A and B are shown apart, each in its own frame.
Chain A
């Protein structure tokens, strides 16, 4: 009984956001003290399909950005974690990896912005990529650091002595071994980027309008209906990820 109540409570707690956002997305003329919207309209949802609509473009931008960062950070993080494992100063490198991770993203963005401008990257996707990479790369490296245990290095060594080329060892031994962890890293870095608002907003000078940036714009316009539609769009890809791969969502840096 208690167990069922608890389950019910948690389901309600976590389901309510979707209910309220859904109501806001289709509700019109809804103000205090009405408990439910006066009218329902699909106008905001339908406006997604309008030609000049920026929300779908934002969805695309966010997907592209998060996908690029996830793949880039995971691939580089894999190589970097190996280099760190072999380095004589592994502990120092590991400590250094915590540096950007320790600073709040907005503060980090504010601090590096003068240099982003000097690199001609201000307001560009490149600048945002660099900023997000700065957070995602150490994260991926730290996550993948645990893979390069002495045992794995022995496997690698063994494969090479048995006549594998470096590429073959990577493809046939290391990647299959690392795959579960790589998958987690991909999902994690994707979400890290997907969820970001502050860093992107500062570094893009408002130009790279990802979905979260748009949510904020609509909240700023006091446009609850469109903000709710944008919020639901933001929730969509991670929900799909959850369906596909639950365990990868648990981040454990």
Chain B
């Protein structure tokens, strides 16, 4: 009986486990070797699944293409942020291979995954399509002030925008400085989602208050944060009575805010993707009077990335998937505002003329600002700690106040 319990305990403790391969071993292979090994495998990808168009791009285009080209079965599951990091960390602690191979991440998750050494790499240079990547662009080669260093591969590039209903608001506030007076004159139309997009709004607002984006470059600076977050909370609390529901509550996710906007309950929503307004109007989720713009002195522009789990069971297949996702075909498809509208991370100059032309001839954005128009209004992402702190303090100094 004792033996029986011991074996059960051993089972609970997860003693028996197949040792994952060393990263060097995997990355030392040549591309043909990787290709041979990665074929016909199942790749488990974890990503945020909050947008039907993104989901449709993945399920309707990427999955069948991967199946056709490499026989790869791409299994997508929902997950992001701290929950994802926790799962990976727990797998590491248990010393077992990961359930996930491929991750869609950006800044703050990248930072945490580096902290627990959860990523495989550097791998980007291995990818045949990496030559097309616009890695000279600081908005692409740096993720929340951290050099990407080949540990994650750029996938798309976006900029934060305000979206408003032009049938309700004739002249939206042109700058963050105008915002408080505007809110006072138009109460109940504006709120801040208490999640990633809302935090990007707060970061942009805080940088605007400081008047000097350079302050937020480099490592997290406690004094800078204290000073300008303090100013932000003061301004927010002053404007709060003019927020939606008098600022007594805030939407917990972006989708409910989009829903409020779609239903006409508020006149503003936001997007981390400058082209989202087009695809939301095309889907008839937003009214055709919805427009997007960037208030002065600018908003945060950042990239989102693909990473491979250090203990992935199918790292070779994951490399094939990433290489496909940054191929000109897949990037072109993704940039179409009718498909997803995610800006490419490729350097168009590096592409063959015919392909470059295809990018240039994409159906243009109808409701979102053109990329060239907001070039001068792009701010780089500050250190992830700013986001973590804003998220915590927004709760303490605004929501719970």
Q: Do chains A and B touch in the complex (CB under 8 A)?
A: yes
Mark contacts of A216-236 with chain B using CB atoms, 8 A cut-off: 1 yes-contact digit, 0 otherwise: 010111111010000000000
Per the 8 Å Cβ criterion, residues 247-262 of B in contact with A are: 253, 255-256, 258-259, 262
Mark contacts of A81-115 with chain B using CB atoms, 8 A cut-off: 1 yes-contact digit, 0 otherwise: 00000000000000000000000000000000111
- B interface, size bucket: 35 or more
Chain A residue nearest to B255 in the complex (CB): A222
Smallest beta-carbon distance B137→chain A, Å: 31
Q: Which residues of B are found within 8 Å of A22, using beta-carbon distances?
A: none
Q: Which 9 A-B pairs have the closest CB atoms?
A: A206-B78, A118-B14, A222-B255, A222-B259, A207-B77, A123-B99, A206-B77, A118-B94, A117-B90
In the complex, the answer to whether B255 meets A31 with C-beta atoms within 8 Å is no
Q: Which residues of A are found within 8 Å of B147, using beta-carbon distances?
A: none
Which of A114, A120, A222, A223 contacts B256 (CB under 8 A)?
Answer: A222
In the complex, the answer to whether A207 meets B99 with C-beta atoms within 8 Å is yes
Which of A32, A114, A207, A217 contacts B90 (CB under 8 A)?
Answer: A114
In the complex, the answer to whether A220 meets B14 with C-beta atoms within 8 Å is no
Which of B52, B75, B91, B258 contacts A117 (CB under 8 A)?
Answer: B91
Q: Which residues of A are found within 8 Å of B258, using beta-carbon distances?
A: 222
Per the 8 Å Cβ criterion, residues 62-91 of B in contact with A are: 63, 75, 77-79, 83, 87, 90-91
Q: Which residues of A are found within 8 Å of B285, using beta-carbon distances?
A: 222-223
Smallest beta-carbon distance B391→chain A, Å: 19
Give the secondary structure class of A's interface: loop
In the complex, the answer to whether B99 meets A220 with C-beta atoms within 8 Å is no
Check B35 for interface membership: any CB of A closer than 8 A: no
Smallest beta-carbon distance A113→chain B, Å: 7
Q: Which residues of A are found within 8 Å of B11, using beta-carbon distances?
A: 119
Which of A28, A31, A52 contacts B287 (CB under 8 A)?
Answer: A31
Which of B63, B87, B90, B262 contacts A31 (CB under 8 A)?
Answer: B262
Which of A52, A119, A221 contacts B52 (CB under 8 A)?
Answer: A221
Given contacts A118-B14, A205-B77, is CB(A222)–CB(B262) below 8 Å?
yes
Per the 8 Å Cβ criterion, residues 112-167 of B in contact with A are: none
Q: Which residues of A are found within 8 Å of B255, using beta-carbon distances?
A: 219-222
Given contacts A117-B94, A117-B96, A120-B17, 14 further A-B contacts (CB under 8 A): A32-B265, A52-B59, A118-B94, A205-B99, A206-B46, A206-B79, A207-B77, A209-B77, A220-B50, A220-B255, A221-B49, A222-B255, A222-B258, A224-B259
Q: Which residues of B are found within 8 Å of A221, using beta-carbon distances?
A: 49-52, 55, 255
- How many residues of chain A are within 8 Å of chain B by beta carbon? 29
Smallest beta-carbon distance A214→chain B, Å: 10
In the complex, the answer to whether B13 meets A118 with C-beta atoms within 8 Å is yes
Check A184 for interface membership: any CB of B closer than 8 A: no
Smallest beta-carbon distance A61→chain B, Å: 13
Per the 8 Å Cβ criterion, residues 52-82 of A in contact with B are: 52, 54
Bound: A63/B188 CA distance, A: 45
Q: Which residues of B are found within 8 Å of A122, using beta-carbon distances?
A: 87, 90-91, 99
Given contacts A32-B265, A221-B51, A222-B255, is CB(A115)–CB(B12) below 8 Å?
yes
Q: Which residues of A are found within 8 Å of B256, using beta-carbon distances?
A: 222
Q: Which residues of B are found within 8 Å of A206, using beta-carbon distances?
A: 46, 49, 77-79
Mark contacts of A1-35 with chain B using CB atoms, 8 A cut-off: 1 yes-contact digit, 0 otherwise: 00000000000000000000000000011011100
Mark contacts of A105-146 with chain B using CB atoms, 8 A cut-off: 1 yes-contact digit, 0 otherwise: 000000001110111101110000000000000000000000
Bound: A118/B284 CA distance, A: 45
In the complex, the answer to whether A220 meets B253 with C-beta atoms within 8 Å is yes
A interface residues, Cβ below 8 angstroms from B: 28-29, 31-33, 52, 54, 113-115, 117-120, 122-124, 205-207, 209, 217, 219-224, 226
Check B60 for interface membership: any CB of A closer than 8 A: yes
Bound: A223/B263 CA distance, A: 12
Bound: A33/B96 CA distance, A: 55
Check B363 for interface membership: any CB of A closer than 8 A: no
In the complex, the answer to whether B90 meets A113 with C-beta atoms within 8 Å is yes
Given contacts A115-B12, A222-B256, is CB(A31)–CB(B264) below 8 Å?
yes
Chain B residue nearest to A52 in the complex (CB): B59
In the complex, the answer to whether B13 meets A31 with C-beta atoms within 8 Å is no
Bound: A110/B49 CA distance, A: 22
Smallest beta-carbon distance B98→chain A, Å: 9
Per the 8 Å Cβ criterion, residues 6-27 of B in contact with A are: 11-14, 17
Smallest beta-carbon distance A212→chain B, Å: 14
In the complex, the answer to whether B264 meets A120 with C-beta atoms within 8 Å is no
Bound: A45/B236 CA distance, A: 44
Chain A residue nearest to B64 in the complex (CB): A52
Smallest beta-carbon distance B251→chain A, Å: 11
Bound: A219/B51 CA distance, A: 11
Bound: A236/B111 CA distance, A: 45
Provide 7 A-B residue pairs closer than 8 Å at the C-beta atoms, listed in order of the A residue: A29-B284, A31-B262, A52-B60, A115-B12, A118-B12, A223-B285, A224-B259
In the complex, the answer to whether A32 meets B264 with C-beta atoms within 8 Å is yes
In the complex, the answer to whether A217 meets B12 with C-beta atoms within 8 Å is no
Q: Which residues of A are found within 8 Å of B79, using beta-carbon distances?
A: 205-206
